[in-house]
DNA sequence: TTGTATGCGTTATCAG
DNA sequence: CTGATAACGCATACAA
């Protein structure tokens, strides 16, 4: 009756409502969930809660979830298979109405199996054909290509790349896009121009210093995210190398701070917030047994600022 | 028996374990929670999941929680009384083993009432005397003082302040520290030197422009967080004002990106990660009925980098 | 040592 | 339209 299941007479209705008020009674979610197999929350798992990258995504998801009067419970998986698995099971046990999961250590088949259960499961940041509309992702290969091609269009040819951890699919895709652009321009892939780092500022800083030791003829560097680009900027500054006069830098993500770096960072924008909203919308529609009318594949976009210019 | 409650014969033990394996049986947390009033999770609520500030805190909490083999479920309250209350109740309903809450819209008495229930509740970022050891906080007034005093020690006297939203206690405390330092130096408080913003980069940028329109004789600005300082740096740069030669800037928080700004940001460090760890430790000890041997009041610390120098 | 009954707080079902 | 009762999946206490 509290949930409008049964039709009630006005009189009894009032009596009950009054009693509820007096005892400030709160329905026990656990007991209720035992029957309905529902908890009224959306489970969300992402690699890490700290970075501005996932921050924007969570923001988008939260906006939509809150608009629906629901809540999200989030956990982090740290791109590690074991931790992801624990986090996923922890969340599943709480019977969320739907799950949104962004992981890197978990394989496609495992994800497929998860999605096969009753709880609607949406995958963020991966394209799994069998999942159809239940995933949302961005073309990172194209993003890497876009970034590198922009440098090429500006007249650069000796272009380095600071990659993210190559255990992460996004990192590999961006690297792949970098190679495609380079090869399209007739520049063979040069191993010495590429270095792997960790998506953190300090990592980008160290990687840049290593790159500088290895070779000093680079005229541009494509960093696989903005945080590493911030580190690169700093390393170049300390080395007395001017950006963008001597070396151009391009980042990836367009985090809020990107435009406040010096020089302001040219970068590849991913519509993280919008993607967060969209994935939540898919979840809610799936919950209602409907298909969501949203985009599933998003396109990266070049944001031109001041850290790139023609060589010389 | 699964939880080691009863002594069992080896034989049956094996039989059960095998069955568990075969049916890949997972205990139903809800049914179990119905009895034990426990869920194996730590509920965490913070203002917002996006900012690097709360990111560091969550990182610290997570480190400790994970070390204990538990999980955390986090929700955000956005410094808004209504949203905070909803988030808190949402989490409480799930019967977390303990709760860590950082809020701004909720009053001390309300918090006290929450803490009076069975679920151990620890308050982050506020000093509530009645809660005793159940809270952990930092002296923001002292931090504001430290920042301003550093500028004064460098020889500045015309010092502006970009405050955070004054609805937030931390913002008010930092402003208070600013006033104390100024008055200690014999400089009367000047309303025109202070402006309220929103803790975001863009807000700091706009605030700085307003400040510049109002008066052009400021030789230093104390920003209530690093993100606003980043905006200030950009606004000054665009106005052709050199930092630190013409105007000194000091921030607050020491977010990871602070040292990668240009010029690298002098700021007030708060041991956010350590505080996160500590608050989680208090929670676990409270769970075990013990007191935690940790610090409850943390001290802000000046981090000198390049954005401050003597005037002239 | 093992099996069995009872209760946790709901929702759902089925007579009344 | 109402009231009583079973069932959800587990822990606990007690009897076998």
Q: Mean pLDDT throughout B139-160?
A: 97
Query: Which chain A residues are Cβ-neighbours of B34 within 8 angstroms?
Result: 28, 30-31, 34
Is B311 inside a domain boundary? no
Helices (H), chain A: 10-22, 29-36, 52-67, 81-93, 108-116, 140-153, 169-184, 201-214, 226-238, 272-287
Size of interface A-B (CB pairs under 8 A): 127
pLDDT of residue B27: 83
Please tell me the total count of domains within chain B.
2
The whole-angstrom separation of Cα B306 and Cα B263 is 6
The whole-angstrom separation of Cα B284 and Cα B42 is 9
* Whether residue B190 sits in one domain with residue B124: no
For residue B35, say whether its CB is under 7 Å from any atom of strand C. yes
* Whether residue A97 sits in one domain with residue A29: yes
* Whether residue B294 sits in one domain with residue B211: no
* Whether residue B235 sits in one domain with residue B164: yes
The verdict on B85 touching A (C-beta cutoff 8 Å) is no
Are B79 and B104 contacting, i.e. CB atoms less than 8 angstroms apart? yes
pLDDT of residue A63: 94
The pTM for the full model equals: 0.91
Is A312 inside a domain boundary? no
* Whether residue A125 sits in one domain with residue A51: yes
Is B1 inside a domain boundary? no
Buried/exposed A11-31: b ≥16 CB within 10 Å, e otherwise:
eeeeeeeeeeeeeeeeeebbe
Of all residues in chain B, the one with the smallest CA distance to A38 is B30
Instruction: Specify the CATH number for the domain of residue B283.
Output: 3.40.50.2300
For residue A36, say whether its CB is under 7 Å from any atom of strand C. yes
For A40-82, write each residue's pLDDT tens digit: 889 999 999 889 999 999 999 999 999 988 888 888 999 999 9
For D9, nearest residue by CA–C1' is B31
Of all residues in chain A, the one with the smallest CA distance to B30 is A30
For A137-151, write each residue's pLDDT tens digit: 999 999 999 999 999
Query: Which chain B residues are Cβ-neighbours of A95 within 8 angstroms?
Result: 30
Helix and strand totals (H; E) in chain A: 10, 12
pLDDT of residue A10: 67
Is A1 inside a domain boundary? no
Are B178 and B148 contacting, i.e. CB atoms less than 8 angstroms apart? yes
Domain coverage including residue B182: 140-270
Phi then psi dihedrals of residue A64, to 5 deg: -70, -45
B121-124/B98-101 β-pairing: parallel
Q: Which of A66, A75, A234 sits opposite B73 (nearest CB)?
A: A75
Question: Strand D: which positions are within 7 A of a protein CB?
Answer: 1-3, 7-12
* Whether residue B93 sits in one domain with residue B47: yes
**Contacts of A35 by beta carbon, 8 Å cutoff, 6+ apart:** none
pLDDT of residue A241: 96
The verdict on B51 touching A (C-beta cutoff 8 Å) is yes
What band does A25 get if pLDDT is binned at 50, 70 and 90? confident
Are A125 and A157 contacting, i.e. CB atoms less than 8 angstroms apart? no
Contact call for A262 and B259, based on CB within 8 A: no
For B23-46, write each residue's pLDDT tens digit: 778 888 889 988 988 888 899 999
- CA distance to A110, A290, B27, per residue, from A120 (Å): 15, 12, 21
For B246-270, write each residue's pLDDT tens digit: 999 999 999 999 999 999 999 999 9
Mean of per-residue pLDDT scores for chain A: 92
* Whether residue A283 sits in one domain with residue A134: yes
* Whether residue A200 sits in one domain with residue A58: no
Of all residues in chain A, the one with the smallest CA distance to B226 is A257
Which among B38, B232, B260, B265 is the top mutation candidate for probing chain A, defined by the most A β-carbons within 10 Å of its own β-carbon?
Answer: B260
The verdict on B201 touching A (C-beta cutoff 8 Å) is yes
Question: Strand C: which positions are within 7 A of a protein CB?
Answer: 1-3, 7-13
Is B93 inside a domain boundary? yes
Are B276 and B56 contacting, i.e. CB atoms less than 8 angstroms apart? yes
A34: DSSP letter: H
Is A311 inside a domain boundary? no
Q: Is the pLDDT of residue B83 over 90?
A: yes
Is B310 inside a domain boundary? no
């Amino acid at each position: 009756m509290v949930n409008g299941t049964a039709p009630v007479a006005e009189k009894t209705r009032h009596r009950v409502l009054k009693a509820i008020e007096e005892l400030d009674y709160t329905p026990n979610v656990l007991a209720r969930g035992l029957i309905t197999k529902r908890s009224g929350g959306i489970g969300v798992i992402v690699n890490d809660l700290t970075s501005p990258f996932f921050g924007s995504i969570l923001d988008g998801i939260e906006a939509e979830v809150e608009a629906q009067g629901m809540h999200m419970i989030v956990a982090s998986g740290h791109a590690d298979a074991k931790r992801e698995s624990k986090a996923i099971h922890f969340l599943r046990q709480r019977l969320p109405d739907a799950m949104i999961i962004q992981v890197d250590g978990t394989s496609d088949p495992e994800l497929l199996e998860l999605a096969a259960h009753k709880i609607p499961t949406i995958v963020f940041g991966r394209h799994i054909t069998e999942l159809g509309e239940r995933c949302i992702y961005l073309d990172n290969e194209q993003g890497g290509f876009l970034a590198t091609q922009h440098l090429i269009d500006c007249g650069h040819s000796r272009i380095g790349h600071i990659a993210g951890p190559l255990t992460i699919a996004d990192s590999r895709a961006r690297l792949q896009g970098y190679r495609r652009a380079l090869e399209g321009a007739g520049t063979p892939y040069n191993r010495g121009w590429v270095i792997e780092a960790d998506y953190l500022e300090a990592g980008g800083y160290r990687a840049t210093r290593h790159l500088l030791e290895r070779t000093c003829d680079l005229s541009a560097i494509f960093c696989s995210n903005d945080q590493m680009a911030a580190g690169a900027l700093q390393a170049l500054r300390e080395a007395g190398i001017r950006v963008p006069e001597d070396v151009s830098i391009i980042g990836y993500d367009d985090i809020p701070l990107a435009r406040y770096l010096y020089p302001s960072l040219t970068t590849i924008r991913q519509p993280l917030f919008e993607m967060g909203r969209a994935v939540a919308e898919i979840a809610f529609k799936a919950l209602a047994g409907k298909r969501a009318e949203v985009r599933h594949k998003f396109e990266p976009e070049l944001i031109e600022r001041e850290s790139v210019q023609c060589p010389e």
